[in-house]
Chains A and B, each alone.
Chain A
Amino acid sequence: MSKPKSKSRRKFLIKAGIGTGLLFGTVYCIPIRRKIAEQVNVAESPYLGSTDDPKIWFEVTPDNQIIFHSPKMEMGQGVFTGLAQIAADELEIGIEQIKVVHASTELGNIDPFATGGSTSINSLWQPLRELAATMRVMLINAAADQLGVAASGLSALNGVISGSGKSITYGEVAAAVTEWEVPDTPELKDPKTYKYIGKPTPRVDLMDKVTGAPIYGMDAEMPGMLYGSVVRPSGLDSKFTAVDTTLAEGMPGVVKVIVEDDFVGVVADSYVNAENAKQKIKVTWELNKKWDDFDVEEAIKVGKGHPIEIQKEGSAEKLLEDGAEGLIQSEYFSPIGAHAQIEPNGCLAFVEEDKITIKMSTQVAEITRKEVAKRMGMDKDEVIIKPTFLGGGFGRRLHTPNAIQAAVMSKAVGKPVKCFFTRKEEFQNDSFRPPTHNVLKGKLTADGKIEAISHDISSGDVMHGSPLLPGILQKIIGADLGAWRGGMIQYHGIPNYRAVSWRVKLPFATSWWRSLGLLANTFAIESFMDELAEKAGKDPVSFRLDHLTETKADIRLAKVIAKAAEVAGYRNEATGDRAMGFACSTDVNTPCAHVAEVSIVDGEIKVHKVTCVMDPGLVINPDQVRAQCEGSIIMGMSAVLYEKMNVKNNALYPVIYGAYEMALMKDAPKEINVVLLENSDYPGGVGEPPLGPIGAAIANAVYRLTGKRVRRIPLRA
């Protein structure tokens, strides 16, 4: 079981980069780049933090509890529960004996990457078991010393070590240890003996979350805390040129108005007073260009940005030339999407002479720490980030400029300052899901198989400009790996296929949004697959299966496709006023297929039932994997049926829930049937893959009801 991790993605890229130093330019078609892109697409994500010292991961308390300091953030995805299950099994303790907390950066248990990309369980599966097993052996060895018996005669169960007629708890052992010895990594447990891994364990944060415990960044407090508020532009690409703070300074409760080169803020004695004072700050904004929806849609079109070929097999480009005989072509659009997580981005910071303490919801503690340290002219070790639970992440908290702002304001007033976005500011200053334009071309053989297919993906940036990937890597890859996610052709039985990623720089921040490009790219490809199937006169399910090979990835996808069709009882023809739509995709090595059962009610698309079959490999917690599927289906439905940000007069709208339409209770499917396959002994990603196929599954069902192809998100019947 304990297979060694594949080589780190970053290490691989750096190595590849050294050999291709001259290729950083703007060359269009370079095999090595394509090779890297293909590797990235199927790479397992390594855990990049230190896993040397089990003691900083596990704190053993005298009352025989283990406090597990997680470097991964709990943002709803259930990672605390999954990690606790993994740790409990190797530690030989009951799950109720583990309390999972977010690791403070001062502890040293820091993840230099981020919580995101559906990588947490996958990346920690091996190291965490090794850490927990090592900790267990450390406790047994220490117990042997303390009891004066041989370690070989001792064993652990439920946090109690016993043997040779004696017994002692982990808590008692730890309390008496002065110096720990870290042994070689012991052998890991036989999977047959797992007590928690693979079992539907209730979430470890359930009680806090049903009783309203103060666990989020918004709830954080420090003695003497004040409230900050920052003036944020409503316009795109705006810089302020003049500020008049006179009126604001005289407002009730105001402690100080702070004018920096890059922001203006006010600190007051309450949230309400800070917000009221902010309204009185007069800021003159300089606009670089006037943008409207039309400009964005024009900018985003395939052909406008910078192209990189990310996938190539055979001669798709030539076969699908303009004017080629039998050419089938369709184009698809997706709009700007907002994160709309309910807890606004925010931060509580306290700057003191020799240290900065920060409590906040962040997906990137290490990056936040570095950014604050740099701005405040301190060493990063002097910045202590105490991460809290996140009131939704979805990529929104991979950018945390608000931490800098809170720190600057705290320093200015000498007290802790809590500062967060208003909802309007969230909607207008989000790092949005970029709009996309996808062009699919294909050609069929006489016997109704795909001879060639190509996919041009044009998107605003996701990876570029993000602090998550060093600039040099962004240059090496050239194309935006976030934007192309889900965009490669996954039907490897097609003899000629090709994918090209077009990068477009937009005048507003676009970035990581749960599943990145997967949502829009899968919508395009899987809609097109149905279009091709129809032209070929084939059933969409068997048509997909016809184009898969005997490779491991293709076999896993084929199994998921077949199972979904079987479980849902997939039919091509509408039954009464309902029809089914089929779609599938593989993301982070997790294949997933949806069958959506849809009707049109008063001109609106209604999703009644979704059957989801997913193969994430080894499942740690079936209940929480199901919860992620249900949530992804509903969030994905929301994004493809309702959500859209508009650019008007250089600003983004709407600025409030409701006007920004999202799925509500009434819209959620009444039935969601999730079936999990486990055709790999390694856990794959879970939090994003089930977002992929939902758009095309719905659009394909709509076509069966109306005969009309819907190629634009939000979908309209």
Chain B
Amino acid sequence: MPTNFNLNGQQATTEADPNSPLLWVIRDELGLKGTKFGCGKAACGACTLHVDGKAVRSCSYPVKFIEGKEVTTIEGLGTPDNLHPVQQAWKEEIVPQCGYCQPGFMMATAAMLKEIPEPTDEDIDNNIVNVCRCGTYYRMRKAIHRASQLSK
């Protein structure tokens, strides 16, 4: 049975097994590579995207749960010509190093800012729990505060 959903503002459908992780449908079937595979166990957050505006770790999220819902990936967050405030802040603070985990962090941040528009450092510590091996956390924190300002 196909699963129908909205992907970055467009209608999308997949015939994938309803228990398949959403990540692989997005990456390999629908061809959007911005959502990354890191661990497959929802432990690192590289695969974070939004389902109905909430941050979800898609490597462990069965595709059957997205029926009729809105899925947003980094490609739908903003574009090079029209960056989302989180992307703009990431660019201004020059956050990425290898960059592989960054879409997951940006998606997690964008979801947090909807709930907490002006996060404190403690809010950031409690809500942004993805893994970055290059150690860009220091600049990320600055970028999150900056994104909060840019979103006003």
Write the residues of chain A forming the contact surface with B, with a CB cutoff of 8 angstroms: 75-78, 202-203, 205-216, 218-219, 270-272, 339-344, 389-394, 422-423, 623-624, 627, 630-635, 637-638, 656-658, 662-670, 672
Contact = CB atoms under 8 A, between A and B. Distances in A.
Interface string B96-133: 11111111001000000000000001001110111111
Q: How large is the interface on B (under 10, 10 to 19, 20 to 34, 35 or more residues)?
A: 35 or more
A14 to B, nearest CB: 35
A213 B131 contact: no
A631 B75 contact: no
Contacts of A423: 38-41, 43-44
Contacts of B136: 627, 630-631, 634
Contacts of A623: 94
Contacts of A666: 125-126, 129
Contact of A664 (B17, B35, B91, B131): B131
Contacts of B124: 665
A662 B137 CA distance: 12
Interface of B: 17, 20-21, 24, 28, 33-41, 43-44, 46, 73-75, 78-80, 83, 87, 90-91, 94-103, 106, 121, 124-126, 128-141
A630 B139 contact: yes
- Residue in A210, A215, A634, A664 whose Cβ sees the most chain B Cβ within 10 Å: A210
- Residue in A211, A392, A658 whose Cβ sees the most chain B Cβ within 10 Å: A211
Given A211-B79, A272-B24, A634 B100 contact: no
Contacts of A76: 96-99, 134
Contacts of A632: 135
Given A76-B99, A271-B24, A664-B131, A212 B125 contact: no
B35 A665 contact: no
CB-based closest 4 A-B pairs: A212-B34, A634-B135, A391-B100, A76-B98
Contacts of A203: 94, 96
B131 A342 contact: yes
B141 A202 contact: no
Given A212-B75, A270-B24, A342-B38, A389 B99 contact: yes
Contacts of B79: 211
A621 B126 CA distance: 33
Contacts of B28: 270-271
Given A211-B75, A665-B140, A668-B141, A422 B102 contact: no
Contacts of A214: 33-34
Nearest to B108: A665
A663 B135 contact: yes
B121 A212 contact: no
B49 to A, nearest CB: 10
Contacts of B100: 216, 341-343, 391-392
Given A342-B100, A391-B98, A665-B140, A656 B43 contact: yes
A422 B97 contact: no
B14 to A, nearest CB: 12
Given A627-B97, A634-B135, A657-B43, A342 B36 contact: yes
Nearest to B143: A210
Contacts of B133: 339-342, 392, 394, 635, 662
B102 A209 contact: yes
A200 to B, nearest CB: 9
Contacts of B37: 218, 344
B36 A343 contact: yes
Contact of B87 (A77, A210, A340, A392): A210
Given A206-B94, A632-B135, A211 B33 contact: no
Nearest to B103: A212
A206 B96 contact: yes
A271 B22 CA distance: 12
